[in-house]
Amino acid sequence: MNGRPLNWLARPTFSMLKGEPRLYTKYSDGILIEAGHYLLRKRSLLRFFHGKIAALDPRTPIFQVPNESFYDKRTEKIRTSYLKLAALHGEPILRKFVKGEPVAPDDFKPGDCRKLALKASRLERTASPEIILPPYFSIGGSTDPWIPVNMEIFREIIRLEGAPRVYFPLALDHRVLEDRDELDAVCRITSKIDPWGYAVWPVGFDEFHSNVRELQGLAHLLSNLTGDKILMYAGYFSILLCALTGSSFSNGPCFYEKRDITISPPLEFRPRCRYYLPPIHQKVDPVAALALYRILNELGISPSLCRSCRKYAQGDDFTRIAEMPDIDIFEHNFLTRRKEVDILKRSRNPLELGLENLLFLQSIRDEISHIRQMRFLKTWIEALELVQEITRDIRPTGPGVS
Ligand SMILES: [Zn+2]
């Protein structure tokens, strides 16, 4: 992973369609699997992805919240994946989980971090991942008592695995992104353990509903962390920041590119398949895609459909896009995002490219206004213009962007 920025680590869905695993290996740079998913579907996941697994995400922050999130709201049953995950991690997590209580930093007694690290490391080894992500807990700032626990678990994993390839998971409340001083303080503390890389997850961050300060904060954080970086959930705006800061990113081809602690697709159900619409950088209902393609066509702008869509659209008749089967939507999502990422990777100035893109979209905003709420555009543009000013004198890292 070292020196190969803007890698896309795809997260597979829980119940894969026939032909879906092939798409992950064909279009992504590696597979990132949530530990709960891995525990439930280990055999098939290894069969499909052995040798391609970039990392297992321990997803331990789920045990930091009250027990409602342990239950599947539709079936009112405890989520099997969490039960298995709790059992795997052992004490003190399991004891609290069984009582339906969140685990707290004080629950960790001397020796607990070592035991936890040992169990996690045993599991991760069975997947032969490219990098190791230690169990971790989300933090709310630089004085959060979870920080010493996270650092201790990290040190124990290093003891077992050696320093190379072990990343420090930095899960922090998205509101912290608004506070530059707090971000700097967090970076100062974690830099003491000097990890090989960071897995950054701003918990609850949603780039479409974010404010300028948060978006700027994410840019600031990614530029200030040293070593390799993976942003754990990323949509177009975040991918732009990854291109700019030499980071990689992870997301799934058909889910929303955000995640808070309490929701957890793709575990135990298959999310409704949405269609990635590159001109507006969002996943939408395929019917909305159809409408936008028609408008673009009327404006004289070619929608440049991918191979998968061309099977359904002929000339300017886009009607059948709305009828595309899920597996073709999947391939479309992979193809279009891959193209976007490759263009950013090759670009000498990804920020300018992204900004141009958004400004164009802004210019036709009136025409596409009924497609969907586009308020994010103004925020994204403002944030990028500020980031551009700050980074003007900094040389971007990574091949192709220098
Ligand atoms: Zn397509």
Expressed in angstroms and rounded, the spacing between residue 186 Cα and the centre of ligand 1 is 41
Residue 393 pLDDT more than 60?
no
CB atoms within 10 A of CB 372: 17
pLDDT at residue 204 in the model: 92
**Residue whose token pair is 């695993």:** 21
CA distance 76 to 57: 25
Expressed in angstroms and rounded, the spacing between residue 363 Cα and the centre of ligand 1 is 24
Q: What is the pLDDT of residues 293-313, one digit of tens each?
A: 888 888 888 888 999 999 998
Expressed in angstroms and rounded, the spacing between residue 318 Cα and the centre of ligand 1 is 11
Expressed in angstroms and rounded, the spacing between residue 335 Cα and the centre of ligand 1 is 7
Expressed in angstroms and rounded, the spacing between residue 34 Cα and the centre of ligand 1 is 28
Pairing of strands 30-34, 8-10: parallel
Q: Please report which residue ranges of 80-224 form alpha helices under DSSP H.
A: 80-89, 93-99, 112-126, 146-161, 180-191, 212-224
Expressed in angstroms and rounded, the spacing between residue 283 Cα and the centre of ligand 1 is 12
Expressed in angstroms and rounded, the spacing between residue 383 Cα and the centre of ligand 1 is 29
pLDDT at residue 77 in the model: 79
Q: Mention every residue, 6+ apart, whose C-beta is less than 8 A from residue 127.
A: 33, 38, 45, 46, 53, 56
Q: Mention every residue, 6+ apart, whose C-beta is less than 8 A from residue 299.
A: 364, 367
Regarding predicted confidence, which is higher, 159 or 80?
159
Query: What residue segments make up the domains of the chain, in order of their start?
Result: 8-251, 275-391
Expressed in angstroms and rounded, the spacing between residue 40 Cα and the centre of ligand 1 is 32
Expressed in angstroms and rounded, the spacing between residue 334 Cα and the centre of ligand 1 is 9
Expressed in angstroms and rounded, the spacing between residue 238 Cα and the centre of ligand 1 is 22
Residue 34 vs residues 11, 39, 56, 261: alpha-carbon distances, Å = 8, 9, 6, 13
Expressed in angstroms and rounded, the spacing between residue 258 Cα and the centre of ligand 1 is 23
Expressed in angstroms and rounded, the spacing between residue 311 Cα and the centre of ligand 1 is 9
Expressed in angstroms and rounded, the spacing between residue 327 Cα and the centre of ligand 1 is 12
Expressed in angstroms and rounded, the spacing between residue 290 Cα and the centre of ligand 1 is 11
Would you list the DSSP string of 288-340?
HHHHHHHHHHHTT------HHHHTT-BTTB-GGGGG--HHHHHHHHHHHHHHH
Q: Please report which residue ranges of 162-250 form alpha helices under DSSP H.
A: 180-191, 212-224, 236-245
3-class state of residue 131 by DSSP: coil
- Closest of 106, 231, 253, 123 to residue 177, by C-alpha: 231
pLDDT at residue 258 in the model: 76
For the whole model, what pTM was predicted?
Answer: 0.92
What are the beta bridge partners of residue 132? 166
Phi then psi for 167, rounded to 5 degrees?
A: -100, 150
Indicate the class that CATH gives domain 8-251: alpha beta
Average pLDDT across the chain, whole number: 89
Alpha carbon 193 to its chain centroid, in Å, reads 24
pLDDT at residue 364 in the model: 86
The pLDDT-based confidence of 374 (bands split at 50, 70, 90) is: confident
Expressed in angstroms and rounded, the spacing between residue 146 Cα and the centre of ligand 1 is 44
- Closest of 30, 21, 60 to residue 251, by C-alpha: 30
**Residue whose token pair is 């070619």:** 302
Expressed in angstroms and rounded, the spacing between residue 343 Cα and the centre of ligand 1 is 16
Expressed in angstroms and rounded, the spacing between residue 328 Cα and the centre of ligand 1 is 8
Expressed in angstroms and rounded, the spacing between residue 110 Cα and the centre of ligand 1 is 54
Expressed in angstroms and rounded, the spacing between residue 269 Cα and the centre of ligand 1 is 25
CA distance 215 to 314: 39
pLDDT at residue 375 in the model: 85
Expressed in angstroms and rounded, the spacing between residue 393 Cα and the centre of ligand 1 is 38
Expressed in angstroms and rounded, the spacing between residue 309 Cα and the centre of ligand 1 is 4
Expressed in angstroms and rounded, the spacing between residue 331 Cα and the centre of ligand 1 is 8
- Closest of 91, 32, 33, 35 to residue 62, by C-alpha: 35
Mean pLDDT for 110-136 is: 96
pLDDT at residue 269 in the model: 59
Expressed in angstroms and rounded, the spacing between residue 41 Cα and the centre of ligand 1 is 30
Mean pLDDT for 76-94 is: 88
Q: What is the pLDDT of residues 173-190, one digit of tens each?
A: 999 999 999 999 999 999
Q: Mention every residue, 6+ apart, whose C-beta is less than 8 A from residue 7.
A: 1, 29, 30, 54, 230, 248, 249
Residue 3 pLDDT more than 80?
no
What is the torsional sign of CA 181, 186, 191, 197? Answer: negative
Expressed in angstroms and rounded, the spacing between residue 239 Cα and the centre of ligand 1 is 20
As given in the structure block, the two tokens for residue 76 are: 């009112």
Expressed in angstroms and rounded, the spacing between residue 81 Cα and the centre of ligand 1 is 33
